[in-house]
Chain A
């Protein structure tokens, strides 16, 4: 069964550095999402992406964040200048449609640690 994959599984970076988190969505899916979960807190929506454009973003997704689908298979989340409070588990998800009747499939997550 196809799965969403994410790399790396764990990323450690210093404050102020740029990081790129990578995701490979399921191949026939058209909608892509990033969520994050700070330790001990709820899973929070960051951004949704469709047709090479951001569909919706949360207030967390400020100018330090960007997303890209550079080559038709990867879907990346870039944090331009990391802060300590960006430390979290980042989940990528994909779905065939934006309609809620279509399941969002989640990746295993990337744990980002900012020191």
Chain B
């Protein structure tokens, strides 16, 4: 069975400070990892996925298979980054049901 763990319910940082949202996973095979974001009163939307190796809105995430982690990072937090962030995985090569973590609320303050 697959599982995603986000240990922090709330992360509060000052504007301009670095951000790291933690995500650990357990899965016996090779998963695809994602970060989804939900801004206030908006729908859940994909932020980035490890297979694309992209940087979106200044966020990056590196898959560390040894530590089974996929932490989300941004060097300088902005107010508009305040949102709920969900880490998710799906098994490689399947009709991709997503397994989500419990989410971390990022609060960026002045």
Contacts and interface: CB of A to CB of B under 8 A. Distances in A.
B51 A101 contact: yes
A65 interface: no
Given A35-B98, A42-B103, A98-B95, A103 B46 contact: yes
A43 B100 contact: yes
Given A43-B44, A100-B90, A106-B45, A55 B95 contact: yes
Contact of A43 (B49, B86, B92): B86
Sort chain A's interface into a size bin. Answer: 20 to 34
B28 interface: no
Interface in A84-104: 91, 95, 98-104
Contacts of A104: 46, 96, 98
Interface residues of B, number: 22
B94 A98 contact: yes
Interface in B26-74: 32, 43-46, 49, 51-52
A58 to B, nearest CB: 8
Interface string B75-104: 000000000001000101111111111110
B95 A42 contact: no
Contacts of A100: 32, 49, 51, 90, 92-94, 96
A99 B86 contact: no
A48 B46 contact: no
Contact of B95 (A4, A48, A91, A107): A48
Interface of B: 32, 43-46, 49, 51-52, 86, 90, 92-103
